[in-house]
Every structure is written in C-alpha cells, then in structure tokens.
Amino acid sequence: MTALIERFLRYAQIETTSSEDSDTSPSTHCQHDLAALLARELEEMGASDVIYDRTHCYVYAQVPGQGDPIGFIAHMDTSPAASGKNVRPRILKAYDGTDSLLRPEDFPELLSHLGEDLIASDGTTLLGADDKAGVAEIMELAAWYLAHPEIPHRAISICFTPDEEVGRGTQYFDPKAFRAREAYTVDGGKLGIFEYECFNAAWARVRVQGRSVHPGSAKGLMLNASSLAMEFDALLPPAERPEYTEGYEGFYMLAEITGSIEEARLQYIVRDHDRARFEERKETLRRTAAYLNEKYGQGTFTLEMGDSYHNMADVMRDHMDLIDRAYAAARAIGVTPSSEPVRGGTDGALLAEIYGIPCPNLCTGGYNFHGRFEYASIQEMEASLQILIGIAAL
C-alpha cells in the first residue's frame, strides 16, 4: 500500500463532520483532531512556516521553491448529510461489480472502474473522500517535494480549511498566512476533470404563519400552515429541481420542511450558473410569497434570502493559464483532461470573489460524495497526486 493510501485511510477514520446548526467556528470541535495531526505531520516532514489556527481550525504551511508560490487548498470537514463517526474503510481489490453496496446497476459509473482497487465505507457511514482524498494528496505533494529538493518546482502554499460543507470554509481564511495569489482547490471527483465555473448560490427561508381552529368548526377559519407550505413549494417549477437538472441547468431545492397547523418553515437552496437567471430565480421566490400573502393575508408568508457565493468564472476568465497548466500536467501522465461546471460550491468561489485569488478545482478520484455509497479509486487518487506534482513542477 502506498504512502498516499495509508495517509488517506488514517485521515478518513478521524471524525470531522461539520454542523449547519452550530454558530461556533469551527462548527464542530472534532475538526481540530485532524487539523492538529496535519500541522504536526507538516512540521515533521520539514514544511516551513506551519501555522495551526487553534481558534478557527485552519492549517497553513509552505514548501520552499522558486518564484511566487502556487497554492493548494482542501477542506477537512465532511458533510453532515451522513454520519462521519466510526468510519471503517474497506478496500475492494480488483473491483468486479459484485459488491453488495456498490452495484453498477445503481451507479453506472462503477463500470468504468472494473479491475481497479476501490476504497469504500462499510455502508454505515460516508467514506470522507470529500475532501480527505484532497487533503491526503496535498500532504503527499508536500512530502514529495520536501524529499526531493533537487527537483525544480514552484514554491507551494498549503491551506486546509474547516466547515466548507456548511458554506463557511473561508470565513476566517488568512490570505497573509496563505501567501499564494493563485491557487487550486483539490476537491473534485473524476480523474481528469478540472472545474473553473460554479453556481451562483443563495439560501432562502420561508416562515408560514397559520391559524389553528378546532377541525369541527374550522371551515372558513383555519389556516393550516403545513398545507400552505406545500402550496408554496408546488408553485415553484417542478422540473427545476436537482433531480431533474444537469450541466449548466439551475434549480430550486427544498432542503428542509417542518410544520404544524400553527406554523411551518421551509428552507431552500437556489442555484444557477447564469447570473441573470439566478436573479430571476430569487425574484420568483419573492413573487410567490407576495402572491400567497395576497391570497391568504399579509404576514402569512415571510421570506428571508441571501447570497452564499457567486460564479468564480468571472475571476477565472483572466487566469485560464491555471487550467492550461492542469491540462498539461494531466496529458503528461496520459490522462485526457476536460472541464465541467461545478454543480456545487468550493472554497475557491469565495476566495476568488472576496480575495481575488483565482482558484479552479482539481480532481481527487472520489465519487458519490455525501452518502453511504461514497467511494474512491486508488488508481485515480495516485494519478491525481501526479497531476499535482506536475502542476507545481518547473
């Protein structure tokens, strides 16, 4: 087993689940367990200027080299969508499609991995390849160049962030500690896919105020908040949900609904790559709330909404040399590169928007993120590491 895979398995077993319900930074204290380990390992391998932010749980480090540094970023937390506690990774040697958890009939992409060695969870938790595969690959990148100082390469800046999965990965990011003015997030999936476009993203919360009356005398009087909440959702375009969209198509996603007769709440995420259509989607939510307030009385529906991040393509247009460099590194090891839009977010979107740091996203070899069916290809992880080494090379 290679050092990269040993490293990944070690990291995957450390619980780092973030929390959307926490107002602390980091959102969960367990993320410090991995951060402290990474800081210690960076110091032991000889990285310079290692900084462990013990308050907000960021780790920074430098690998000496030539010229202005190139940055590599990955997040330490795992999604709260599935348990990340007591992760027990297992290796499927020469995957043949017969595993009871990872079945090609459920996930056709698995057919492209026949004969490869896959890492999966035991089916009770997620695996954590998102983004501990990226973390492990960056750590091995650092170890490679620190062990081979005779090989010319650019100076390398490293940052590991908390809370990316809950949208707060850059909240306390320190650009002075990071140093690099151009970087990559190592937070993608399929080998050879490089991403420099992402959604414009917003959140929306709808509160529905009902009126409870005894059902025996409710006619013309009761306002059932739960029913009204479902009416709100039914007025949004049903074909514009995540399960019916792909590529550059945007969506409305009902992330959570709770309610009773007296009060109900809906939480949405809103996404679109095109900024004009993104603004139209937010306006649709406003019009829907206004229409229902007109129908049921002002104050029945209260809408709160805010932007989360914007499409990093606006910054990347002037920095496509970063993509050219990644393409060249992939071709050098026999991988055919291509680009796809990110149907999600990365720390890179906010780094580009807030700090002006162009930050496209690189592949890691992980798949089926955020659930029990997550897996990673060992061969693709090893190739992803070679792409990182090639990007930093002179």
CA dist 96 to 8, 125, 180, 371, Å? 23, 22, 43, 22
Nearest alpha-carbon partner for 43 in 52, 32, 34, 55: 52
Instruction: Give kind and range of the element (H or E) at residue 367.
Output: strand 366-367
CATH of 3-197+311-392, picked from 3.30.565.10, 3.40.50.1820, 3.40.630.10, 3.40.50.360, is 3.40.630.10
The structure tokens listed for 387 are: 């792409």
Q: Are 16 and 26 in contact (CB under 8 A)?
A: no
Q: Are 382 and 202 in contact (CB under 8 A)?
A: no
Contacts 24+ apart (CB under 8 A), 39-45: 41/139, 42/139, 42/142, 42/158, 45/142, 45/143, 45/146, 45/147
Q: Choose the catalytic residue: 130, 163, 164, 347.
A: 164
Q: Check residue 167 and give its pLDDT.
A: 87
Nearest alpha-carbon partner for 105 in 379, 373, 343: 373
Q: By CB neighbour count within 10 A (0-12 exposed, 13-18 middle, 19+ buried), where does 390 fall? A: middle
The phi-psi region of residue 163 (left if phi > 0; otherwise alpha if psi is between -120 and 50; otherwise beta) is left
Q: Return the domain boundaries, the chain.
A: 3-197+311-392, 201-309
77 given a catalytic annotation: yes
283 given a catalytic annotation: no
Q: Which residue has the tokens 């780094």?
A: 351
> Alpha-carbon distance 216 to 61, whole Å?
68
Q: Are 25 and 54 in contact (CB under 8 A)?
A: no
Q: Check residue 46 and give its pLDDT.
A: 98
The structure tokens listed for 66 are: 């030539």
The structure tokens listed for 18 are: 């973030």
Question: Could you please report the per-residue DSSP string of 153-201?
Answer: BEEEEEEEES-GGGT-TTTT--HHHH--SSEEEE---STTEEB----EE
> Alpha-carbon distance 1 to 144, whole Å?
17
Q: Which residue has the tokens 């070899």?
A: 365
For 20-65, where are the E strands, in sequence order? 48-53, 58-63
Q: pTM of this prediction?
A: 0.89
The phi-psi region of residue 111 (left if phi > 0; otherwise alpha if psi is between -120 and 50; otherwise beta) is alpha
> Alpha-carbon distance 241 to 182, whole Å?
34
Q: Choose the catalytic residue: 15, 41, 77, 380.
A: 77
Q: Which residue has the tokens 């997620």?
A: 126
Q: What is the CATH number of domain 201-309?
A: 3.30.70.360
Nearest alpha-carbon partner for 184 in 386, 328, 346: 346
List phi, psi (to 5°) of 283: -65, -35
Nearest alpha-carbon partner for 297 in 219, 228, 199: 228
Residues of the chain with pLDDT under 50: none
The structure tokens listed for 227 are: 């029913």
Q: By CB neighbour count within 10 A (0-12 exposed, 13-18 middle, 19+ buried), where does 30 fall? A: buried
Q: Check residue 93 and give its pLDDT.
A: 98
